[in-house]
Amino acid sequence: MGNLGSVLNACAKVGAEAKLVSAPGELKSCDRLMLPGVGAFPDAMAHLRNNGMDEAIREFAASGRPLMGTCLGMQLLFERSEEFGEHEGLGLIPGRVVRFDEAKFDHPLKVPHMGWNELFVRRDSPLFEGLPREFYLYFVHSYHAVTEEEYVIGTTYYGYEFVSAVQRENVYGFQPHPEKSHDHGLKIVENFAKL
């Protein structure tokens, strides 16, 4: 759902061969998987379930091959989301997805969180290779993940600190859009392609 052309262009810019897949069986021949997304969590999960892609993604992750979700794709990696009710996710990373709590903001801000913001590296990851400990990426979202500290590799501040990058073994997630984030975002894509 969403920004597939931008993701393919980003892969091409870093010299990675990428293709769109729409059938679960196609994942068997892939050595890495990017799960991008724009839109609403329940619609995206329904779309994945309707063609069996949800189970195929879980099997892909279980195989140990690298998997990266971005924006909504990161949120789908979690166990559940509260967007438009309570909805089950892929369950690849423990945790849930919640709406920004404006009551906790240190000053008035608009939701969605939209535009350039800083990602602070909290834990080393191969996807941060060649990047500074703090760098800017492009965000567009109203919901964010809540998870255990051991899976958090990056955070961002918008009214309060929230989780913006995660890793659980071979599964990675970025709340911002690397494919729309110029050099720093392309470096993340390049690092992922090299795994």
- Which residues are catalytic, by number? 71, 177, 179
- Measured CA to CA, the distance from residue 116 to residue 139 in angstroms comes to 6
Here the tokens at position 63 are 């195989």
Enumerate the β-bridge partners of residue 141. Answer: 113
Q: What share of the chain is helix, strand, coil (3-state, %, to 5)?
A: 35, 30, 35
Which of 129, 132, 105, 123 lies closest to 166 in space, CA to CA? Answer: 123
Here the tokens at position 54 are 């949800």
Tell the residue number behind the tokens 């949800």, with chain if given. 54
Residue 30 burial (C-beta neighbours within 10 Å; 0-12, 13-18, 19+): middle
- C-alpha distances (whole Å) from 68 to each of 59, 107, 108, 171 are 14, 33, 32, 6
Backbone angles phi, psi at 95, to 5 degrees: 140, -175
